Amino acid sequence: MRPETLALTIIAAVILATIAFALLSVRRLKMDPHEFIVGSRSFGALLLWILLAGEIYTSFTFLGAAGWAYGKGAATFYILAYGTVAYCIGFFLLPPIWRLGKDHGLLTLPDLFIHRYGSKPLGIAVAVLQFFLVVPYVTLQLTGLQILLTIAGYGHYNSTAAVSIAFILMALFVFTAGLRGTAWASVVKDTLVLGAVLFAGIAIPIRFFGSPLGMIDRVLAAHPHWMTLPPPGMTNAAYTVPWFVTTILLSGVGFFMGPANAPAIYSAKNAETLRRNMIFMPLYQLVLLFVFFAGFTALAVVPGLKGPAADQSFMLLMQHYYSPAALGIVASAGCLAALLPASTLLLGAASVFSKNVLGDWLNAATGDRERTMATRVLVLVVAFLALALWILFKTSLVDLLLFYYVGVTQLAPGVIFAIAWPRVGAGAVAAGLVAGECLGYFFVHFAIAPGGINGGFYALLINAAICVLVTLATKKKPAGVPAG
């Protein structure tokens, strides 16, 4: 068998087997909106862990983190830290959010805004925002998928067609299986990804340099200071210490603000399940270390890749030095790491649109059956939108991630104040949000980072400051008026 045929056959077999396994797991369930979107709020610690962990190990982790280790050095370490910061915040923030969701039947993050601030327009605006921000993030996963399939096909196949087929297949899977199906599929994905990452971070450096530490010595000998950040003010240095610190904080604060996160939070069986997950999730972050090792190893073994090509470094190393079967297995883990987070994002975006835009705004699809069907159809709509965006515009993995994070992070003041400060009203949150989104877009689009600080972080600070100032400037009034 030709090498590309063998590698691609392994990938196809793994994806189909994962889908079949997940479909078998949910075959007897009756799908209503609560089951389809939040798994009937019944996920225990293990299934919730797998679902939350599944959101960490995306194609960005698989390729982007290694790509940054290859192309930018120590700047990639921010990925290790921001998840940990997010879990510390989540430990305190998520249990009250879960309790509100349970007590008031909330399904999405915009539901929280509508319930807590008593403002449907605010909730609908948040829903529209989340819906459109998700599209570039799904596009990010498709860019990752393309890299994997191109390399696994040894450049002999049309990767655009392969990506489109794989993605449509996954969208149809979400259409059928909902959140619980995605969680079960993540069991297979996480097992494979963990194996692939450990192989990449331990076995590959051992083969070339005797040990991961030997690899570090070699990289530092060839690239002095590669594992430290450039000092502030250094000419042409974009990823300095101020950027690093503020990007960790920005990404950590925004971690749970995406449309896929609220369903995962609400799917927990109880608040303690969530809290326990937040306690132990940082340990899973440590696996990222091996992804960095893979990127550093690639730097020493296949040097010379520039720009977005650095995202391919680890997989190119696999292609050049390992058998097609090994390449196929590692690439199939990567493909699942792209497809499954994309599927939870599709589900999250479809949920906010069907519940908050169709239901709350247009008063359509309000019955259980109609809402489930609307959510399912919207999964396919978002999938086609993301596919179209991906075919038209392609960019580096990390650039897309930063754009998404800057956008969703601006929701954080509204969510945190919803839990922590009863006096804050809808007007204050809306004013901060508009300012934060406009500034965030401006900073990201024009790549402006005054003083080396991440522009999105400025936007977040200004957003929160406006929210506080408007609240202090307005009269106290009772909060928590549920939407009629």
Partner 1 sequence: MLTLAIPFVNREEPRVFGFPFLLAWMVFWVAVTPLFLLAANRLGRAP
**Which residues are near partner 1 by CB under 8 A?**
74, 77, 80-81, 84-85, 87-88, 91, 213, 216-217, 220, 225, 227-229, 231, 241, 244-245, 248-249, 275-276, 278-280, 282-283, 285-286, 289, 292
Measured CA to CA, the distance from residue 249 to residue 245 in angstroms comes to 6
Give CA separation, 324 vs 100, 220, 293, 303, in Å. Answer: 50, 31, 22, 22
Of 107, 161, 134, 44, the closest CA to residue 381 belongs to 134
Measured CA to CA, the distance from residue 295 to residue 311 in angstroms comes to 9
Give the residue with the Cβ less far from partner 1, 73 or 341.
73
Measured CA to CA, the distance from residue 113 to residue 255 in angstroms comes to 17
Give the residue with the Cβ less far from partner 1, 225 or 320.
225
Which residues have C-beta within 8 Å of that of residue 384, sequence separation ≥ 6?
Answer: none
Torsion angles phi and psi, residue 43, rounded to 5: -75, 125
Q: How far is the CB of 226 from partner 1 (least distance, A)?
A: 9
- Six-digit token pair at 229? 């950040």
Q: How far is the CB of 194 from partner 1 (least distance, A)?
A: 17
Give the residue with the Cβ less far from partner 1, 68 or 173.
68
Q: Which amino acid is at 195?
A: G
Alpha helices in 305-411 (DSSP H): 313-321, 324-352, 368-392, 397-409
Q: How far is the CB of 274 from partner 1 (least distance, A)?
A: 11
Say if CB 340 and CB 191 are below 8 A apart. no
Q: How far is the CB of 114 from partner 1 (least distance, A)?
A: 29
Measured CA to CA, the distance from residue 95 to residue 266 in angstroms comes to 10
Q: How far is the CB of 218 from partner 1 (least distance, A)?
A: 12
Q: How far is the CB of 389 from partner 1 (least distance, A)?
A: 33
Q: How far is the CB of 79 from partner 1 (least distance, A)?
A: 10
Give the residue with the Cβ less far from partner 1, 74 or 129.
74
Give the residue with the Cβ less far from partner 1, 285 or 356.
285
Give the residue with the Cβ less far from partner 1, 238 or 283.
283
For tokens 């590959």, name the residue. Answer: 204
Q: How far is the CB of 241 from partner 1 (least distance, A)?
A: 5
Measured CA to CA, the distance from residue 442 to residue 436 in angstroms comes to 10
Q: How far is the CB of 370 from partner 1 (least distance, A)?
A: 41
Q: Which amino acid is at 211?
A: S
Of 298, 302, 331, the closest CA to residue 314 belongs to 298
For tokens 């400025």, name the residue. Answer: 458
Residue 414 CA, chain-centre distance (Å), reads 20
Buried b (16+ CB within 10 A) or exposed e, 253-278: bbbbbbbbbbbbbbbbbeeebbbbbb
Give the residue with the Cβ less far from partner 1, 288 or 336.
288
Give the residue with the Cβ less far from partner 1, 105 or 231.
231
Residue 424 CA, chain-centre distance (Å), reads 29
Give the residue with the Cβ less far from partner 1, 246 or 351.
246
Measured CA to CA, the distance from residue 468 to residue 477 in angstroms comes to 15
Give the residue with the Cβ less far from partner 1, 280 or 442.
280
Q: How far is the CB of 285 from partner 1 (least distance, A)?
A: 5
